[in-house]
Amino acid sequence: MTEAITLPSELIQDGKIEFKNLDQYLAMVDKYVAYGNNFVVTEETMKGAKDEKALINKMVKESASRRSDIESNMLAPWLPVKEKMMNAEKKLKSAGNNIKVQL
């Protein structure tokens, strides 16, 4: 099975993400999982097994990279707000600790 998995194509707009072919991607992953779980390595299939393993590793790496890129793009607008909120929480905690020490 040397058929490559096509990663889902995404559309990111207004803080929302839509995947166009996620179901096809997941179905193909399931197909590869079943194939890999039932693959028997013998002396005759050794070369093909190495090729399949390399292809699966490549697909995992590509998927993880795409997922990470999407996550970074989606979170980019949030990160400056998150930092400001965390700084505010630290200030509040400090004020609370000041009162606690005096109690």
pLDDT-wise least confident of 3-7, 56-60, 72-76, 98-102? 3-7
Both structure tokens of 56: 């699966």
Residue 58 clears pLDDT 80, i.e. is over it: yes
Mean pLDDT for all residues in the chain:
87
pLDDT at 8 over 70: no
Q: What is the mean pLDDT of residues 37-60?
A: 91
- What proportion of the chain, given as a percentage, has pLDDT over 90? 49
What are the structural domain ranges in the chain?
Answer: 10-102
3-state secondary structure of 10: strand
Label the pairing between strands 16-19 and 10-13: antiparallel
**What is the C-alpha separation between 66 and 9, in angstroms, rounded?**
10
